[in-house]
Structure 1
């Protein structure tokens, strides 16, 4: 998920903005049902629009939704799909994880899952180094797919002489140059789709790569070993447990941050208080359980909310949590999604304040 795409979608403030989200499938025959579910959800969006607007006011938007949905090629699906449509904008975003099936009609698009795609950290690159060639994989949890663009897999262009002709310093100089070339190509890919990465290889190669990389801050962890002939599946079995543990460490760190913020009286919890401080631009870090959702009616001045049970009631914010996440990001804060149940003592949502 590209951050600039998130910004573009967030900036589409209009009413009605229609968001359609669903879990999809990568392969046949499972992805055949995706088209049927998508059609069902688009019909739901049409029904709800007709209940709230006159036929004349909404006919163009309904036609646009139908056209956008019919253009989607389910053979290209990943694990989740988000469709965003208003009278002036349409965008289809494929997501690398399943999402909760829903239709949201609001003044802004439902970007929670897009924010999650960027910040959750379970999508990552794996750079497998060797002296002769470098492979690059895109990973979601333990699912690996090799990238075959941007020069990858990247073969070392420098000829290799005999051991007598090559001193250690000469070989290392050549390797540094090779890894620098690899790093420049990887930077282009990172620019289009920024993610953290795991660097795998023998100790010497990892050390040389870290000397020349311009993306040290993107390295999540390193794994030592010779993986020249390791299949993507076998590499996933090695890498994913390490990444999973690192993610668990980060989650524990975030929960500790909440405790520290509480001690400094810089923490608010519960959706009422979190909303109030978020709209004031005071949110530094929002931590929310992945599936927590709450509909609400927001006052005209935006300062008070009235929680409701029905997500489909016209005039409500279908998912106030989504609005809060969008507000925090737009005012310079961060959003972290926690496991369901891990924030029960904070009523499922907590906000660390800037001051």
Structure 2
């Protein structure tokens, strides 16, 4: 599965506690030859390491270990190297497996826990900066799922849409020059109400920023008859058709998307700065983790590649070398950063990933506290 399938509900299900062992395997991959030739070998090596970890863990029965190994083998068979992006995540327990292709790198890791490792998925979702694009006119409405990778048309969720009958005579409009009149007709108003209704359903199920692209008359009418246009992240006044391609839309949206992403990064910095002034700032893994366990974190910012293996001792975190951890040591958290992010999300907070070294003065992780 790809990044735009990562809804909040999906992530919540993946973070749910499940019978031990839930196995998470991550590795970097390559999109093109000749580098991608090594990916299959690295995957097999990691699967072998996973098998050894399962065999050595005293908490894993032979039956459970064999079941997880069987799921891993099925996953390996289903991995399509031709569709590789920057990393691969395989999640498996005794009953299922999932394969995720992510457009950002991930380290080679095998983790056994009572839930799946989701920090790479959360990072991919945050980094992909998912958004919706609606390109529309009186004759069509198409919905596109957007990521940093580009646009993909959404064939579902009630889209694409066309009006129930032909609204106009284009040759007559060309002769008379009255093209805007179509946007005052009741048929078009009714069509746009339907578009807005479908959009509201999409945004309720998968909230994302919405970008609208259409003629000025179309943008104005959609705002007049519905709700979604009033809260859109951006409106681009440009005519499109049902045949407008993803590449053409991306070019039209380029400036708007750059502005939106810059505003998002600045907003995170501003929130952290304001929290320092208001004494609602926490910095460093131990301090932020303690606040998260109390449900006090409204926003956690983590450097992109920051991870720590720790031992929890008397309510505090003590970093340990993963090489020194014995199999089955229940006091050790293999990736406390992942647990931190899950805790914040489960308590209704936000998680964002920032550039490496941008939080060097705060122990690589910082938070805005609710109280």
Shared fold per TM-score greater than 0.5: yes
Deviation of 1:326 (Å): 0.5
Deviation of 1:335 (Å): 0.9
Summarize the Cα distance change of 1:71–1:188 in structure 2 as closer, same or farther, 3 Å threshold: farther
* 1:178-218 CA distance string (max 9 Å, x none): 12222333445445544322111122211222234444586
Aligned counterpart in structure 2 of residue 47 of structure 1, from 52, 55, 66: 52
Q: Secondary structure at the match of 2:356?
A: coil
Deviation of 1:60 (Å): 3.0
1:262 counterpart residue number: 276
1:293 counterpart residue number: 307
2:336 counterpart residue number: 320
Deviation of 1:104 (Å): 1.9
* 1:142-179 CA distance string (max 9 Å, x none): 52222333454322333224568999487343322212
* 1:56-107 CA distance string (max 9 Å, x none): 36333323322343344556666544322223x4341534522303322223
Q: Secondary structure at the match of 2:306?
A: coil
Summarize the Cα distance change of 1:231–1:25 in structure 2 as closer, same or farther, 3 Å threshold: farther
Asked if 1:239 is matched to 2:239, the reply is: no
Summarize the Cα distance change of 1:92–1:240 in structure 2 as closer, same or farther, 3 Å threshold: farther
Matches within 5 A, 1:197-276: 197-216=210-229, 219-228=232-241, 230-276=244-290
Moved more, 51-60 or 21-30: 21-30
2:9 counterpart residue number: 4
Matches within 5 A, 1:169-188: 171-188=184-201
Question: For the Cα contact (< 8 Å) 1:295–1:319, is it kept in 2?
Answer: yes
The 1-side partners of 2:217 and 2:352 are apart by 35
The 2-side partners of 1:345 and 1:19 are apart by 31
Summarize the Cα distance change of 1:166–1:335 in structure 2 as closer, same or farther, 3 Å threshold: closer
1:70 counterpart residue number: 77
Question: For the Cα contact (< 8 Å) 1:122–1:140, is it kept in 2?
Answer: yes
* Superposition TM-score, scaled by structure 1 size: 0.85
Summarize the Cα distance change of 1:207–1:310 in structure 2 as closer, same or farther, 3 Å threshold: same
Q: Secondary structure at the match of 2:322?
A: coil
The 2-side partners of 1:332 and 1:217 are apart by 25
Deviation of 1:235 (Å): 2.2
Q: Secondary structure at the match of 1:39?
A: helix
* 1:118-137 CA distance string (max 9 Å, x none): 44462222211222222222
Aligned counterpart in structure 2 of residue 157 of structure 1, from 156, 160, 164: 164
Question: For the Cα contact (< 8 Å) 2:130–2:146, is it kept in 1?
Answer: yes
Aligned counterpart in structure 1 of residue 322 of structure 2, from 299, 305, 310: 310
Summarize the Cα distance change of 1:174–1:25 in structure 2 as closer, same or farther, 3 Å threshold: farther
Structure 1: any 5+ residue segments left out of the alignment?
A: none
2:135 counterpart residue number: 128
Aligned counterpart in structure 2 of residue 338 of structure 1, from 330, 354, 358: 354
Q: Secondary structure at the match of 2:233?
A: strand
The 2-side partners of 1:198 and 1:22 are apart by 33
Aligned counterpart in structure 2 of residue 98 of structure 1, from 77, 98, 104: 104
Deviation of 1:258 (Å): 0.9
Question: For the Cα contact (< 8 Å) 1:79–1:94, is it kept in 2?
Answer: no
Question: For the Cα contact (< 8 Å) 1:311–1:318, is it kept in 2?
Answer: no
Aligned counterpart in structure 2 of residue 140 of structure 1, from 147, 152, 156: 147
Q: Secondary structure at the match of 1:154?
A: coil
Asked if 1:22 is matched to 2:35, the reply is: no
CA RMSD of aligned residues (A): 3.2
Question: For the Cα contact (< 8 Å) 1:16–1:105, is it kept in 2?
Answer: yes
Question: For the Cα contact (< 8 Å) 1:95–1:117, is it kept in 2?
Answer: no
Deviation of 1:247 (Å): 1.5
* Superposition TM-score, scaled by structure 2 size: 0.82
Asked if 1:56 is matched to 2:56, the reply is: no
Structure 2: any 5+ residue segments left out of the alignment?
A: 1-5
Moved more, 288-297 or 5-14: 5-14
